[in-house]
């Protein structure tokens, strides 16, 4: 006897962004750079960074609450919270447990997933598997990263690229039996991990060999990461499409990880696709890592850039190195999405 497979759908989206905006002109005061260099090489104009009482978990809570509101679901009904984060507030407890406590999701299990900028796709894969097997009905995924604590603000090659933020998806068993998560592919190549890393090691034990930790900052080989992104992402997109007998002609919108406009343009060219099909908001937020795909989906919906129904590609790449792609359907009717509520 084959086990029943339950249909899965995304019913809520949300974002949580810091108040403080840092423009390219602001960065000119910190490092030898210019708005012109940053904008032409990356497409970024400004980014947000945490200040005051803002933290990874406070941004994650904001995004999570917004996604629940969007879907009209109560926190108490959540079965699981997954935070996709590489830069949480604590090594433990997890960011997901902090969110669970702050939103009152007392019935939810909670854990973090570390897959950097692909984390949201990894989280979606986990949520999808839990729901389609019937184990859970309601899973909240929050992608959140606070890079401003981990970039070297004297290093112009990295500090201009990143921003802080959180983005959330509410994933549920579909009430109308129509499955909207068509395919998800996640990948990793740990051999290339050294190309993008934030080291965190060293011994603090007075009885052990002294082992001085490296500076805990973003270390990035920009050119290698660029090549990796523009090769692996289109490969992954074509791979998932072929698994469900679709082609790029069936895709209505691409919501890719928002790292660099040149990376997005190159991926569009490799797929032979019109750049118009690629939603872009990295000019406003920079690279928000695990959060970027959910923030972009939220903004695209808010700006009415997504038609109903739509076939959407969500795709991310980042440290690990990791990458992954999901094909999702977005429907209006009989799909509990209330765009007026965000």
Known catalytic residues?
117, 257, 287
Q: Which of residues 117-146 bind ligand COA (CB under 6 A)?
A: 117
CB–CB of 305/292 below 8 Å? Answer: no
The pair of structure tokens assigned to 314 is 């969500």
Q: Is 29 in the site for ligand COA (CB under 6 A)?
A: no
Half-sphere exposure of residue 262, counting CA atoms within 13 Å on the CB side? 11
Question: Which residue has its beta carbon closest to ligand COA?
Answer: 222
Min dist. Cβ of residue 197 to ligand COA (A): 11
Min dist. Cβ of residue 264 to ligand COA (A): 10
Among the residue ranges 71-79, 85-93, 216-224, 326-334, the one whose residues contact ligand COA (CB under 6 A): 216-224
Identify whether the C-beta of residue 302 lies closer than 8 Å to the C-beta of residue 296.
no
Is there binding between residue 39 and ligand COA (CB under 6 A)?
Answer: no
Q: β-strand 253-256 against 310-318: which pairing, if any?
A: parallel
- What is the smallest separation between the CB atom of 199 and ligand COA, expressed in angstroms? 16
Using CB under 6 A, pick the residue from 21, 28, 37, 197 that binds ligand COA.
37
Q: CA-CA distance, 202 to 218, in Å (whole number)?
A: 17
57 touches ligand COA by CB under 6 A = no
User: Per rule CB under 6 A, is residue 86 in the interface with ligand COA?
Assistant: no
Hey, is 47 helix, strand or coil? Answer: strand
Of 70 and 162, CB closest to ligand COA: 162
Alpha helices in the chain (DSSP H): 24-27, 35-42, 56-71, 95-103, 119-132, 156-159, 222-243, 261-271, 282-285, 292-302
CB of 259 to ligand COA, least distance (A): 4
Can you tell me which of 90, 157, 211, 341 binds ligand COA, judged by CB under 6 A?
Answer: 157
Please write down the HEC assignment for all residues of 278-341.
ECCCHHHHCECHHHHHHHHHHHHHHCCCCCCCEEEEEEEEECCCEEEEEEEEECCCCCCCCHHH
The DSSP element (H or E) to which 6 belongs, if any, is none
Binding of ligand COA by 156 (CB under 6 A): yes
Looking at beta carbons only, is 6 or 39 nearer to ligand COA?
39
Q: Which parts of this chain interact with ligand COA (CB under 6 A)?
A: 33, 37-38, 41-42, 117, 156-157, 160, 220, 222-223, 225-226, 259-260, 287, 318
């Amino acid at each position: 006897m084959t086990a029943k497979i339950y249909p899965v759908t995304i019913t809520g989206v949300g974002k949580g962004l810091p108040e403080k905006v840092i423009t390219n002109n602001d960065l000119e005061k910190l490092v030898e750079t210019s708005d012109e260099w940053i904008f032409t090489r990356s497409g970024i104009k400004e980014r947000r960074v945490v200040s005051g009482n803002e933290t990874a978990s406070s941004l994650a809570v904001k995004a999570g609450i917004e996604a629940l509101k969007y879907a009209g679901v109560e926190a108490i009904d959540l079965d699981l919270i997954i935070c996709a984060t590489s830069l949480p507030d604590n090594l433990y407890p997890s960011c997901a447990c902090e969110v669970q406590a702050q939103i009152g999701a007392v019935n939810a299990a909670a854990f973090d997933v570390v897959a950097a900028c692909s984390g949201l796709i990894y989280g979606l894969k986990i949520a999808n598997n839990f729901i389609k097997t019937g184990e859970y009905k309601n899973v909240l995924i929050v992608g959140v990263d606070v890079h401003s604590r981990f970039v070297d603000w004297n290093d112009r090659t990295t500090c201009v690229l990143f921003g802080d933020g959180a983005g959330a998806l509410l994933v549920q068993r579909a009430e109308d039996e129509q499955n909207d998560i068509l395919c998800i592919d996640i990948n990793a190549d740990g051999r290339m991990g050294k190309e993008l890393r934030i080291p965190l090691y060293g011994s603090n034990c007075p009885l052990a060999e002294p082992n001085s930790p490296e500076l805990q900052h973003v270390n990035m080989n920009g050119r290698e990461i660029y090549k990796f992104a523009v090769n692996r992402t289109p490969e992954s997109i074509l791979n998932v499409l072929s698994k469900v007998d679709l082609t790029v002609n069936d895709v209505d919108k691409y919501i890719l990880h928002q790292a660099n406009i040149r990376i997005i343009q190159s991926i569009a060219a490799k797929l032979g696709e019109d750049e118009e099909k690629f939603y872009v908001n990295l000019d406003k937020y920079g690279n928000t890592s695990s959060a970027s795909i959910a923030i972009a989906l939220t903004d695209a919906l808010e700006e009415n850039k997504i038609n109903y129904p739509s076939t959407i590609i969500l795709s991310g790449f980042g440290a690990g190195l990791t990458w992954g792609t999901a094909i999702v359907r977005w429907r209006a009717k009989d799909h509990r999405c209330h765009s007026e509520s965000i």
